[in-house]
A and B are shown apart, each in its own frame.
Chain A
Amino acid sequence: MDSAVLIHRLHFAFTVTFHYLFPQLTMGLAPLVVALKTIGLWKNDEKYHQAARFWAKIFGISFVFGVVTGIPMEFQFGTNWSHFSKYAGGVIGQTLAMEGTFAFFLESAFLGLFLFGEKRLSKIAHWWTGMAVFFGAWLSGYFIVATDAWMQHPVAYRMTADGSVTLSSFWGLLLNPWALWQYAHNMAGAAVTGAFVMAAVGAYYVLSEKFVEQGKIYLQVGVVSGILFSLLVIGPTGDGQGKNLANYQPAALAAMEAHFDTKVAGLVILGQPNVENKTIDNPLIVPKALSFLISRNWNAQVRGLSSFPESEWPTNISLLYYAYHIMVGLGTIFMAVMLISGIQLWRKKLHGTKWLLWVLMLSFPLPFIANTAGWMTAEIGRQPYLVYGLMRTIDGFSKSVSAANVWFTLLGFLGMYTLLAILFLFLVQREIAHGPEHVESVIPLGGKAIIAGRK
Chain B
Amino acid sequence: MGFLWFAIISVMLTGYVILDGFDIGAGALHLCLGRTDAERRKILRSIGPVWDGNEVWLLATGGVLYFVFPQLYASSFSGFYLPLMIVLWLLMLRAIGIEFRMHINDGIWASFFDGIFSIGSLLLAVFYGAALGNVVRGLPLGADHYFFLPLWTNWTVGAHPGVLDWYTVLSGVVALVALSVHGANYIVVKTDGDLNERARKMSLTLTPVLFLLTLVSLAATISIHPGIVANYNALKIGYAIPVLVFASLVAVFVFQKGRHEVAAFVSGALYLAFMLVGAVYSLYPVILPAIDPQYSLTISNSITASYALQVGLRWWIVGIVIALAYFVFLYRMFRGKIALEGDGGYGD
Contact = CB atoms under 8 A, between A and B. Distances in A.
A64 B100 contact: yes
B70 A86 contact: yes
B155 interface: no
Interface string A312-339: 0000000000000000000000000000
A86 B74 contact: yes
A400 B148 contact: yes
Contacts of B304: 89-90, 93, 160, 164, 166-167
B60 A68 contact: no
A117 B346 CA distance: 8
B231 to A, nearest CB: 27
B74 A97 contact: no
B307 A168 contact: yes
B341 to A, nearest CB: 10
B73 interface: yes
B330 to A, nearest CB: 5
B59 A409 contact: no
Contact of A109 (B77, B319, B327): B327
A401 B78 contact: yes
Contacts of A77: 66, 73, 77
A43 interface: no
A68 B52 CA distance: 10
A83 B145 CA distance: 11
B23 to A, nearest CB: 12
B320 A101 contact: yes
Dominant secondary structure of chain A at its interface with chain B: helix
B78 A398 contact: yes
Contact of B323 (A101, A110, A455): A101
B345 interface: yes
B79 interface: yes
Contacts of B91: 68, 71
Contacts of A80: 78, 81
Contact of B70 (A90, A104, A119, A455): A90
B288 to A, nearest CB: 12
- For A71, A405, A451, the residue with the greatest tally of chain B CB atoms inside 10 Å of its CB is A71
Contact of A167 (B55, B62, B75, B311): B311
Contacts of A166: 304-305, 307-308
B70 A89 contact: yes
Contacts of B230: none
B88 A101 contact: no
B278 interface: no
Contact of B84 (A79, A85, A105): A79
A66 B186 CA distance: 28
B216 interface: no
A93 B67 contact: yes
Interface string B26-65: 0000000000000000000000110011011001101110
Contacts of A180: none
Contacts of B343: 119-120
A393 interface: no
Given A79-B84, A420-B96, A105 B53 contact: yes
Contacts of B80: 79
Contacts of A98: 63, 315, 319
B85 A454 contact: no
Contacts of A451: 333
Given A98-B315, A111-B52, A117 B344 contact: yes
29 contacts: A78-B66, A82-B146, A85-B66, A85-B70, A87-B70, A88-B70, A92-B66, A94-B312, A96-B66, A100-B59, A101-B64, A101-B319, A102-B322, A106-B326, A112-B48, A112-B346, A116-B344, A116-B346, A166-B308, A167-B308, A170-B311, A400-B79, A400-B147, A401-B78, A405-B81, A409-B82, A430-B104, A454-B338, A454-B339
Interface of A: 64, 67-69, 71-72, 74-75, 77-80, 82-83, 85-94, 96-102, 104-106, 108-113, 116-120, 158, 160, 164, 166-168, 170, 398-402, 405, 408-409, 412, 416, 420, 423, 427, 430, 451-455
Given A64-B99, A90-B304, 14 more contacts: A67-B52, A78-B76, A79-B85, A82-B74, A85-B66, A86-B71, A88-B70, A93-B304, A101-B63, A102-B315, A106-B322, A111-B52, A166-B304, A416-B92
